[in-house]
Structure 1
Amino acid sequence: MSRTLLLGAVSLLALGTYAQAETTLTIATVNNGDMIRMQKLTDDFTKNNPDIKLDWVTLEENVLRQRVTTDIATKGGQYDVLTIGNYEVPIWAKQGWLAPLEGMPEGYDAGDLLPAIANGLSVDGKLYAAPFYGESAMVMYRTDLAEKAGVTIPDTPNWGQIEEAAAKMTDKDNEVYGICLRGKAGWGENMAFLTAMAHSMDARWFDMDWKPQFDSPEWKETLTKYLDMMNKYGPPGASSNGFNENLSLFQQGKCGMWIDATVAASFVTDPKESTVADKVGYAQFPNKAGKEGRGEWLWSWNLAIPAGSNKVDAAKKFVAWATSKDYTKLVAEKEGWRAAPPGTRTSLYDNADYKAAAPFAEKTIKAINGVDLAHPTSQEVPYIGSQWVAIPEFQGIGTAVGQQFSAALAGQTSADQALQNAQQLTNREMQKAGYPK
C-alpha cells in the first residue's frame, strides 16, 4: 500500500473512532424551574465529557408523562434519560423497563440520599432512578396580607382556619385572591392536590375490596370545601391553573395563600423573580379540625435510564452529574444556596449555609420525613400512596377523575354530578383491570 493510501486509511479510521466515541443523549424533562436551571448549567458537564452531546426535550408536565410512558411501554427508544416521578419508578422497574443504577461513578455517594426518597425509588434493594429534587407540600402565605387582615396561620392549620384566612385576605378589587390551588386536570396536577386534601379529610380512593369511594361523605366534604374556597376566594380561570400558573400568580403578589409542593419555596423567595420574596411565611399541609394527621404528599422528580439502552454508561455519567453533591454546590455557586435542589440529600439539611439561606428548609424536611406512604389517610387502604395511588391504572383513572373535578371548578357541572361520574368511571376501569387481584 502506498504511503498516501496508508495515511488516508489511518485518517478514515481516526474519524470513525471519533464518530463512534461521540454519544448524543436525548433527555426528556419537565418545564419546571429547577430543570430549566439544570439545562443552563450543563456546560459544566460537557466540558468534562466532550464526547457526550446533550439533546433536550422539555415538555409541560402532563405532556411529558404521556410521551415518556408511551415511549417506554412500546420500547420506542426515543429517549436516553427520562425524567419520571416516584410514582412510576417502582411500577416500571418491576416491569423491567428501567436499568438499575448500579456502578455509579466514584464519589456519587448514594448513601447520602434521604431514606424517605431513596426507598421509593428502589426495588429489592436496587436503586432504579436518581432523585433530582424531592418535595412534600405545605402552605405558603403572604405575611403582610395576613398581618393586615388580622389573621394568624398556625404551624399546623386545619381547613377551617385556611378558609377563614382566605376570606379575610381576598381583595378582588386589587386582584388579590385569598387562595390559589391547582385546578388544571391531570393525575399529577389537580388530582395531586385533591388526593392529598381528601386523605387529610379522612377520605380514600378505594376500600379494602378496591371499590371506589367517591360516593362517600368524606369525598363530598372534600370537593365541596375545595370548590367553595376556589369559587369565593380563588383567581378567575382557576380550572386552567397548575403548578407553574399558580407559581406565577404568587410571585406577582396575587395570592394570599398557595398550598402546593415545598419545592416552590425557593422560587417564591427569589428576589429576581418574586415581587413578594421577603413577605412569605410557611405552615404544614392543612388537616381536618380535631384530627392529628394531615394530607400525605411525597414526590420526587428523578432521572432514569430505559432498560436495554445502548448508551447506559454515558447516561449514568449524566445522571450522576445532575444529582450529585457537586451539582448542588454548582447551583449554590451560581445562584446561591437558596436555589439548591431540595429534598434529596441528608448533607444539604446538615449544611449551615443552606439552612441560613433557606428559611423553608426546616419545614420542608419535616414534611418529607413525616410522610407514611402505607397509611396516607385515617381509614384502612389497600394501596400505598400519598397524592397518588401506586397502581399502574392510576395515571388514566386519575386524569379522567381530574377532568370531572376541573369541569366542576369551571362551573360546567355540579360537585354531586362530578363525584357520581368519578365513581362510575373509576369503578368501570377497576373492573376492567381485574381488581381485586
Structure 2
Amino acid sequence: MGETHETFVIIGAGLAGAKAAQTLREEGFAGRVILIGDEHEQPYERPPLSKGYLTGQAGRESLFVHEPTWYTTHGVELHLGQPAVAIDRDAREVRLGDGARVPYDALLLATGAEPRRLGVPGTELAGVHHLRRLSHSDHLRGVLTGRADGDEPLVIAGAGWIGLEVAAAARTLGSRVVVIEPAAAPLHAVLGPELGDVLAGLHREHGVEFHFGTRPTAITGRDGMVAGVVTEDGRELPARAVLAAIGAGPRVALAQSAGLTLAEGGGVAVDASLRTSDPRIFAAGDVASLAGRRVEHWANALNSGPAAARAMLGREVTYDRVPYFFSDQYDAGMEYSGWAPPGSYDRVVFRGDVAKRTFIAFWLRENRVLAGLNMNVWDVTDAIQGLIRDGRPVDPDALADPETPLASLLPAA
C-alpha cells in the first residue's frame, strides 16, 4: 500500500488517530488521509484533563497534539463534529452521520473508550459528571472553582487513576473530596494492597475522605440538582457534585456492526501488526485488544497509532510495547510499567524510602519482574522495562538495594 491514489481513513481524532496521520505523512504516504472525529475540537491529549488542565495550571492550547495549521499544511482532511455511524466493508466505505460516504483503501479504528455509567437512580440529575472529553473537564472545573471550601464535597465514585487524580486536583483547588470505592484500597485491581495503602495515605494527608468496601446505590437530588449519595452500607453522604470514575469501556459499536471479531475481554481483536479480522482494517489505542489484553493508557495511544500507520503502509510491524502509565498527584509523581494484577505475583520488593514516597516497587513472580512503579524516582523506566522484558529471575536483595544499579541487573548487551 502507499500509492498516491489511495485513501487511508482514520476514525477517531484522539492521540492515536492524530499520531497515525502524522506517521503516514512522515513515512512518505502521498495519498489522501482523512481523520474523522465526533468532537468539534482538534485532536488533543487526555491526561491533562484530570491534572494540570483541570486545575488551570495548563492552558487549553497545550493540550492539542498539533498546531492548528498542521493538518492543512500536511494535507490531512479533518472531519470534526461528525461521527462515523457505519462501515461498509464490501464497498470499503465509511458512512458519516450526515449521510456522506467516505471511501477507504485502508481503515484505522482509533475510537477509544467511553466512561462507564453508574447505573443507579439519580444519574440523570445535574451535577453528575464523567471525565473523558475536554468539555467534561471544563464543566468539572467550573464546579470545583465555583464555590468556596466549606461547601458540600465532591463525591468521587471510584479510586482508580482518574478518581485519584481528580481528587488531588480538587483538593488543590480547595474543594472537599469524598471517595467511594468497593475495593479495600485505591487501585487494588492494578497495584494490589501494598501500593494501594501508600496512595490512600497520600490522599488522607491532603484531606481526602475514603469509604472503602462500598459503592453508590442512589444519587439524591433537590430541584433537579445533586444533593447527596446513598451507599450500599447505608450511609447518606452530602454532595455538591458526583464524579463517576469507575472505568471506561471500549467503543466497539462500529466494529461490532461491521462484523469484525471482538476480543473476549472487550475491544477489537488485533494481531501483532494491529490488524483486525479484516485485512484492510486496523485498530489502535484504547479500542484495540492484543492477545486478549487492552491497554487504556496514554503511552499506548502514543505508540500504537504510529505502529498501525506503518502496518497500513505494508511495513513489517510487531507491536509489543511494555504497558506504561504516569500519574501526578500532589507532590508525588509516579510511573508504572508492566502489568501485575493481584493473583499474578507472589511478592512485592521495595527499593528506597516508602515513608517518604521516594521509592521503586517491583512486583515479582518466582523472582521474575512483572511490573514496577517508581514514585519520585526518575530515569529508571528503561531499566524497569528491561527487567520486565528480560523475564529471567533477579536477586530480590539486589533489587531492594539502592546501591545496586538497576542496569547492572540486566543482561550484557
Normalised TM-score (structure 1): 0.26
Structure with higher helix content: 1
Structure with higher strand content: 2
Identify which of structures 1 and 2 has the higher relative contact order when contacts are C-alpha pairs closer than 8 Å and 6+ apart: 1
